[in-house]
Amino acid sequence: MILTGPEISRSVEDGRIVISDFDTRQVNPNSYNVRLGDTLLVYSGDVIDAYEPNPTEKIVIGEEGYVLQPNELYLGHTEESVGSDTYVPLLFGRSSVGRLGLFVEITAPIGDIGFHGQWTLMLSPVRPLRVYPGMKIGQIMFFVSCGEVDLYRGKYQAAVGPQQSRYWQDRMAAV
């Protein structure tokens, strides 16, 4: 079951969903719009290595915007911090943004119950595209879960700003 816009608002009011800063104008019929934060990360090495930490370059998006280039992966973040200990959040790119040729969150839209923080966005444009801080870039839907809840306690908890992959930590934990 997916929450409707009015139920999202009620859930924010009673604390079942936490969105800072919550704005009723961003509530849709069954989702909540999130905005692009002002920081991007790009991997700066020639090769991204899944088993090693990778160097990144930080880009701050000014009021004039920043032009994303094709064939590049940009890690952005939501301006809002979003989380719930009750519902399963899923983040998707807005259709208006997709119509501009920007892929947002194609491979990892699902959040975990118990995660609270800014969401890292995986941004890939098909053509050069100027983006701006604060632009509505995605929407989060909330789903009712069934069964016993085990709250998220992972490595990205309380994220602020874009987070590069920490996949390499999974390998270290398995050793």
Condensed to tens digits (0 to 9), the pLDDT of residues 100-159 reads 999 998 778 999 999 999 999 999 999 999 999 999 999 999 999 999 999 999 999 999
My answer on whether omega of the bond before 14 falls inside 30° of 0, hence cis, is: no
* Residue range of the domain that includes 35: 5-44+54-174
- Both tokens of 11, joined, read 């859930």
Question: Total domain count for the chain?
Answer: 1
Q: Is residue 78 part of a domain?
A: yes
pLDDT tens digits, one per residue of 50-104 = 999 999 999 999 999 999 999 999 999 999 999 999 999 999 999 999 999 999 9
Helix ranges, the chain (H):
5-14, 95-98, 167-174
Torsion, Cα of 75, 39, 103, 29 (10° steps): 120
Q: Is residue 49 part of a domain?
A: no
**Which CATH number belongs to the domain containing residue 142 in this structure?**
2.70.40.10
pTM above 0.75, yes or no: yes
Q: Is residue 69 part of a domain?
A: yes
Residue appearing with tokens 């009723």: 24
Torsion, Cα of 103, 107, 110, 114 (10° steps): -110
Q: For residue 36, which of 151, 155, 125 has the smallest C-alpha distance?
A: 125
Burial of 6 (0-12, 13-18, 19+ CB in 10 A): exposed
What is the average pLDDT across 5-10? Answer: 98
